[in-house]
Amino acid sequence: MVQQVTPETTIEVIYPESDGQPRADNTEQFAWIVKIKENLEILFPSPEDVFIAGDLFWYPVEGNPNIKQAPDTMVVFGRPKGKRSSYLQWNEDNIPPQVVFEILSPGNTLKEMTKKLQFYQRYGVEEYYIYDPAKNDLNGLLRSGDSFEVIEEMNGWVSPRLGIRFTLTLDTLEIVSPTGQKFLSPVEIDQLREQERQRAERERQAKEVALQELEAASQEKEAALQELEKERDRYQELLAKLQKKGIDTDNL
């Protein structure tokens, strides 16, 4: 009797897109996540070079959906932009995020942040930045071999990967791009755009007025030339009449 061998059933591994938790604990945390993420998108606009995401699950190990983190913002050099339900590293040339940002809120615990640090250290993050808006406190860690080293002075620090500079003022954190452009909120960007639009409109109107004045001056000049031409014609006509009467116009 021949025994039939039943092939093993392949179990599909599900990698959840959400853990059911809110994306941010408060409005300030969310505002900082949006500011950092969107300004990095502006800084790296090429669709082929840098993938940037906010609060997206990163799964570094295929087959194990329990190993995951959702950085507030992560930056991956060498991967194209595009839609993703999660960052499955084995489908991304096995490239881990090189830069990660976490924005603290009152809900963050020491245990939670320790687990995140260990995760990022283990799975290849090169730069890890933690900002607490409530305390205006910025910390950074930089990869050295298989572990992180604390960046001792963050005020004025320039990210090796991103080229952005961090400056701590008395009230807040300022982030400046390599071109000198300050990271702004979407509202501030829109205000600058409106200011630029108004400036451009003022310039357009000023040019229009200048062109109108130039045109008016040109018309006045043309009118003056025409009047001068008429005067010359009248003068020539008068000379012709005098000559007909036998008057020597050369000696007038």
Rounded Cα–Cα distance for residues 32 and 108 (Å): 15
Condensed to tens digits (0 to 9), the pLDDT of residues 206-243 reads 788 788 888 888 888 888 888 888 888 887 787 788 77
Cβ atoms of 127 and 99 within 8 Å: the answer is: yes
Cβ atoms of 90 and 46 within 8 Å: the answer is: no
DSSP string of 180-231? Answer: SPBP--HHHHHHHHHHHHHHHHHHHHHHHHHHHHHHHHHHHHHHHHHHHHHH
252 compared with 79, residue with greater pLDDT: 79
Rounded to 5°, the CA angle 90-112-76 comes to 30
Condensed to tens digits (0 to 9), the pLDDT of residues 156-191 reads 999 999 999 999 999 999 999 999 999 998 888 787
Rounded Cα–Cα distance for residues 90 and 64 (Å): 12
Task: Compute φ and ψ for 215, nearest 5 degrees.
Answer: -65, -40
Q: Is the pTM of this model over 0.85?
A: no
Locate 240 and state its tokens. 């012709």
The reported pLDDT for the residue numbered 46 is 85
